């Protein structure tokens, strides 16, 4: 097959057309995320939030499930955090190591820790941004609940201080 015949291949024509559609759809997703990020920034919330209950990505566990061994998995979670001095929709990787206390299968434990620094969602791979748009309504609801809880805690704390001085 010559180079010229590969270029004229009908499958390639379709692939290039689909690539154009993919890029247009990706631009639309980016616009949605940029708009949301701008609105959250303008609201001046100033609170870090990670939506860990619904990961954007969850790996299969790796390791051995025997009582004396550990196994681990990695997840990517959506959040809102200050990165490089600016509030962003963000993504961070979490690594969780699982095991059994002293080999007792009825005493499981898990330690979760950040696996690298968070990054701006808008700089994340396309698949990550698409996964974020799919759960954005749930993210906003959970973030709202966290802000609401923080407001209640601040009101209770200031009320305690105010009443304590009388």
Checking DSSP bridges between strand 49-51 and strand 62-63, what pairing results, if any?
unpaired
Higher confidence at residue 84 or residue 164? 84
Mean pLDDT computed over every residue of the chain: 88
Query: Are 46 and 86 contacting, i.e. CB atoms less than 8 angstroms apart?
Result: no
Q: What pTM did the predictor assign? A: 0.79
What is the token pair recorded at 131? 């996964």
Question: Tokens at residue 9, please?
Answer: 């291949």
Least confident residue range of 70-79, 90-99, 129-138, 153-162 = 153-162
Q: How far apart are CA 47 and CA 86, in angstroms?
A: 12
With contact defined as beta carbons under 8 Å apart, do 121 and 99 qualify?
no
pLDDT tens sequence across 102-140: 888 889 989 999 999 999 999 999 999 999 999 999 999
């Amino acid at each position: 097959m010559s180079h010229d015949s590969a270029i004229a291949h009908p499958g390639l024509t379709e692939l290039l057309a689909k690539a154009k559609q993919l890029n247009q759809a990706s631009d639309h997703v980016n616009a949605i995320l940029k708009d949301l990020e701008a609105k959250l920034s303008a609201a001046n919330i100033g609170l870090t939030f990670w939506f860990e209950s619904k990961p954007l990505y969850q790996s299969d566990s790796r390791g051995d499930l025997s009582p004396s061994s550990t196994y681990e998995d990695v997840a990517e979670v959506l959040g809102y955090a200050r990165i490089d001095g600016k509030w962003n929709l963000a993504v961070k990787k979490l690594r969780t190591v699982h095991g059994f206390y002293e080999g007792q299968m009825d005493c499981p434990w898990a330690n979760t820790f950040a696996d690298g620094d968070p990054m701006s969602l808008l700089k994340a791979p396309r698949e990550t941004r698409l996964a974020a748009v799919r759960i954005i309504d749930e993210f906003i609801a959970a973030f709202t609940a966290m802000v609401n809880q923080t407001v209640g805690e601040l009101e209770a704390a200031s009320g305690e201080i105010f009443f304590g001085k009388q």
